[in-house]
């Protein structure tokens, strides 16, 4: 076992701490834990409370402090968490972009410097979205001074809500819906987490509005603020835990917004055990302290750290940063330029080949086009002739008396028309020829021949289609 850890949870109500041992197998032994509630109004500036903080740390550390490391969980109301979308830049530009986002938080900057860190987005999502976590230096500075005075090194500072969630996940009874809202209810407000695919997508703090003496009004207004805060979240349900009395009041009002469940986090994960001296105080052990210690047993998990250490950046800076070193960057750039020139030359060759092939195929294509034009002309001429034939046949039919039927009809390309039929007498055939001559379409109509037939006199009449009519 290593010399151990001192885990601290600091917030508006007070400070709670624990000394524990963590072995390589993941077992956690709680040796001692204590808490101190603040007297007077709560403030993020803990400089006036540094003696109280130092006394609690000395109580936990004892005389053997060599090798001791401290873990700190800050109350969510003292931390600002923002979603950010990173542009595809190198690590240096990414750091500058995040620093610019930090400086835009003017409400926090008015009183001092900001400590910040970046957590990448969800593992199951693509893109470069993540969480930017910020806290004021004046919140941590008194704690760091007290730790240094006791010979304890500060290893990590994080947000209590992140450690709460890690501790709750250790319980087999904890709901594991893909999308849900997790609400930890306290005396003065609630920490609200958006959970997606088993990871924290966003974290925030909602103070309770209204007086504590009117719980119905207070939690009715809280439900409105919760609905506004979670607008856009795709949560299948809301899980309430923490203060049982506040949980019952909140569940009654939040149930109007959707499905609500209450979760009892009284039991700690089985990996945590208590030494005989601390077993009497095991009831009500803070979940955020348990989460701090459990995270020390996890390898490879992303660890938020708001200390003076360099903030974490997306994978490009750490994983591919070697690509931007001068010894590698210059040959790599030359190689990429050579590859670009080769690709351009190849593209030109392909273009020339395709152009030559297109010229070779153009002759055959022109033949197909001319054949299509010829076919179109034939179809157009056929359509014209068809219309002219119908007009001629209609005019001839008008000249025939009632009861006279045609037996044949023919028109040649020169406009010569010949038709035959049966009539009652020669005079009737001559009458038909005279009527044809009077038509504006025909000329030179005359009876060619007549002969007796089975149905009267068979006749044949010839005429000429006038050129003006045939145009």
Distance CA 280, CA 277 (A): 7
State residue 470's pLDDT score: 45
Distance CA 268, CA 322 (A): 44
DSSP 190: E
Distance CA 172, CA 168 (A): 9
State residue 126's pLDDT score: 45
Tell whether the torsion through CA atoms of 390, 396, 399 and 401 is positive or negative: negative
Tens of pLDDT, residue by residue, the chain (471 residues): 566 899 999 999 899 999 999 887 778 888 888 889 988 776 777 888 899 999 999 999 888 778 889 999 999 999 999 888 877 666 677 788 888 888 887 666 566 788 888 887 655 444 567 888 998 888 888 999 999 999 999 989 999 999 999 999 888 888 887 789 999 999 889 999 999 888 888 899 999 988 888 888 899 999 999 999 888 888 889 999 888 888 888 998 998 888 999 988 777 788 888 887 766 555 678 899 999 999 888 876 667 888 865 565 554 444 455 555 556 667 878 888 889 888 888 888 898 888 888 777 776 667 767 777 777 676 666 556 655 777 778 888 888 887 787 888 888 777 788 888 888 788 888 888 888 888 888 888 888 877 887 777 888 888 888 765 444
Q: Are 44 and 138 in contact (CB under 8 A)?
A: yes
Distance CA 64, CA 57 (A): 12
Please report, for residues 317, 336, 340, 347, 353, the alpha-carbon distance to residue 344 in angstroms, rounded to integers and kept in the order given: 31, 12, 6, 5, 14
365 is written with which tokens?
């294509």
Phi (first) and psi of residue 23, to 5 degrees: -100, 175
Among 56, 45, 235, 209, residue whose Cα is nearest residue 141: 45
Helix (H) and strand (E) counts in the chain = 12, 18
Chain centroid to CA 26: 37
State residue 98's pLDDT score: 84
Distance CA 194, CA 121 (A): 13
162 is written with which tokens?
């992140």
State residue 314's pLDDT score: 55
Among 285, 293, 306, residue whose Cα is nearest residue 16: 285
99 is written with which tokens?
């620093």
Distance CA 172, CA 153 (A): 34
Among 407, 400, 380, residue whose Cα is nearest residue 445: 400
E strand residue ranges, 386-441: 405-411, 416-423
Give the domains, in start order, of the chain with CATH numbers. Answer: 1-171+267-321 (3.30.420.380), 175-264 (3.30.420.40), 388-470 (3.30.1360.100)
pTM given for the model? 0.64
372 is written with which tokens?
């299509």
State residue 108's pLDDT score: 62
395 three-class SS: helix
330 is written with which tokens?
């210059």
**Partners of residue 239 on adjacent β-strands:** 182, 261
306 three-class SS: coil
Among 413, 422, 414, 419, residue whose Cα is nearest residue 393: 419
Among 432, 419, 422, 405, residue whose Cα is nearest residue 458: 422
State residue 143's pLDDT score: 92
Q: Could you tell me the end-to-end alpha-carbon distance of the chain, in angstroms, rounded to an integer?
A: 113
State residue 226's pLDDT score: 92
């Amino acid at each position: 076992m290593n010399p151990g850890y001192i885990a601290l949870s600091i917030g508006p109500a007070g400070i709670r701490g624990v000394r524990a041992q963590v072995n390589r197998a993941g077992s956690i032994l709680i040796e001692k834990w204590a808490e101190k509630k603040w007297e007077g109004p709560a403030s993020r500036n803990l400089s006036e409370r540094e003696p109280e903080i130092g006394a609690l740390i000395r109580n936990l550390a004892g005389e053997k402090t060599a090798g001791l490391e401290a873990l700190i969980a800050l109350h969510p109301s003292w931390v600002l968490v923002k979603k950010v979308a990173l542009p595809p830049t190198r690590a240096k530009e990414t750091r500058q972009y995040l620093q610019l986002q930090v400086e835009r938080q003017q409400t926090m900057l008015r009183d001092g410097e900001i400590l910040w860190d970046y957590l990448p987005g969800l593992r199951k999502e693509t893109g470069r979205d993540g969480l930017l976590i910020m806290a004021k230096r004046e919140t941590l500075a008194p704690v760091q001074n007290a730790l240094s005075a006791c010979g304890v090194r500060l290893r990590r500072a994080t947000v209590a809500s992140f450690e709460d969630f890690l501790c709750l996940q250790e319980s087999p009874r904890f709901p594991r819906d893909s999308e849900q809202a997790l609400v930890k209810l306290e005396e003065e407000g609630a920490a609200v987490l958006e959970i997606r695919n088993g990871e924290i997508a966003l974290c925030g703090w909602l103070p309770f509005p209204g007086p504590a003496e009117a719980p119905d009004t207070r939690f009715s207004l809280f439900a409105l603020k919760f609905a506004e805060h979670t607008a856009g979240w795709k949560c299948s349900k809301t899980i309430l835990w923490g203060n049982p009395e506040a949980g019952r009041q909140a569940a009654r009002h939040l149930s109007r917004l959707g499905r609500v469940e209450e979760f009892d986090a009284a039991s700690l994960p089985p990996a945590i055990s208590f030494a005989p001296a601390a077993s009497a105080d095991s009831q009500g052990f803070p979940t955020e302290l348990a989460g701090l210690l459990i995270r020390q047993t996890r390898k490879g998990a992303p660890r938020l750290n708001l200390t003076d250490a360099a903030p974490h950046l997306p994978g490009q800076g750490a994983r591919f940063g070697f690509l931007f070193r001068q010894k590698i960057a210059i040959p790599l750039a030359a190689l990429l330029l050579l590859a670009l020139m080769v690709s351009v030359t190849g593209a030109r060759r392909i273009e020339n080949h395709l152009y030559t092939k297109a010229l070779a195929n153009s002759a055959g294509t022109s033949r197909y086009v001319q054949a299509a034009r010829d076919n179109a002309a034939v179809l157009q001429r056929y359509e014209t002739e068809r219309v002219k034939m119908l007009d001629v046949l209609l005019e001839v039919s008008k000249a025939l008396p009632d009861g006279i039927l045609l037996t044949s009809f023919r028109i040649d390309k020169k406009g010569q028309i010949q038709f035959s039929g049966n009539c009652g007498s020669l005079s009737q055939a001559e009458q038909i020829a005279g009527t044809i001559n009077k038509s504006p379409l025909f000329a030179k109509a005359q009876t060619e021949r007549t002969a007796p037939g089975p149905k009267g006199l068979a006749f044949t009449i010839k005429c000429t289609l006038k050129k003006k009519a045939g145009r």
